[in-house]
Structure formats: C-alpha cells, structure tokens
Amino acid sequence: MRNVILVGPMGSGKSTIGRLLAKELRLAFKDSDKEIEQRTGADIPWIFDMEGEAGFREREQAMIGKLCASDGIVLATGGGAVLRSENRAALRSGGRIVYLHASVAQQLERTSRDRNRPLLHSADPGRVLSDLMLVRDPLYREIADLVVETDERPPRMVVEEILDRL
Ligand code: S3P
C-alpha cells in the first residue's frame, strides 16, 4: 500500500485517528497543518492573521503537493484541503483516501475547546461549520475511496473499520 490520506471537516478526528492508524500500519504519521506550521515557524491563526486565508491556502497547496509525493505515510489533511482542484488531483494520486464523516453537532462539540481554528473564531461557529459542509461534503465524497462514520464512535472503532475496509 502507498499512502493513506484522511480527509474530512474540522473535528472529524483526522489527527487522532491518523496517529492510531499509522501505528497499526507501521507507517509514519504526517499532519499537513503541523508541517505547514513547522515550515513557516508560525501557527495557523498567525498565518491567517498575517496572510489571510488565501495565503494559508497557497502554503497548504504547496505542502499537500509535497506530502502526496511521499511514500508510506498516513496523512491527515486540513478540512479545506479539498477546495482546490489541484489538491484534489494530488490527493487522488497520492494514495487511498478515507473520508471521516462527522455531523455538524459532533464537529461543534469536538472543536469547542480549541482556539487554533481561525475559521471558527465567529459568533456562530455552528453556522460556519454547517455552511462549510454544504460546499465540502460533495468534494470529500468525490475523491474518497471509503467513507467512514465517526459520530459517537471511539477512535479505535473507526480505525478498525478502516483497516477492515481499506
Ligand atoms: C481548516 C481546517 C483546519 C486548518 C485551517 C483551515 C478548514 O484543519 O487547516 O484552520 O478550512 O476547514 P483541521 O481540519 O485539522 O482542523
């Protein structure tokens, strides 16, 4: 197997599940946001502040391209990684793609204690998440080899399903 790539919205569990999955498959785990932060020497909210979302998306595209050219990794992508067609093409050719689905209610619950997501620095994060899902859910589905439900399920159970079905 080449790479396993996790896509899905904020709060779908990509990092937690990716780490566990990488251990099971004995592959390295990479998180594209963490790689961007390391490369830039700044965190995601700072990049959004200084360069806007457009600047972040440029960095994200460069990083997705680089990571998809690797071999033998489990890759957790940012929730908006599917927005650009160039990214969708890179992800498609980069490995098997798993869409971690979560309802907006679960996304909201899982992200509510975290200030590291600039798109959710809003008076109504539930509305933001639901608007994002309208646009992105079809894009996640378009490129996914596998869609896995994460609502009300412990990460280990999700990992087992991925291992069974991959
Ligand atoms: C974003 C999701 C974040 C991060 C950035 C933008 C998005 O990643 O890439 O804040 O557009 O949905 P996570 O999905 O890992 O939270």
Q: Where are the beta strands (DSSP E) in the chain?
A: 3-7, 28-31, 73-76, 95-101, 146-149
pTM value surpassing 0.90: yes
Domain boundaries, the chain: 3-165
50: left (phi over 0), alpha (psi -120 to 50) or beta: alpha
Domain 3-165 indexed as CATH 3.40.630.10 = no
Any atom of ligand 1 within 6 Å of the Cβ of 80: yes
Give the atom of ligand 1 at the shortest distance from the alpha carbon of 119: 10
User: What per-residue confidence (pLDDT) applies to 1?
Assistant: 53
Indicate which residue's Cα is closest to atom 3 of ligand 1.
Answer: 78
> How does pLDDT run across 128-154, given as a tens digit for each residue?
999 999 999 999 999 999 999 999 999
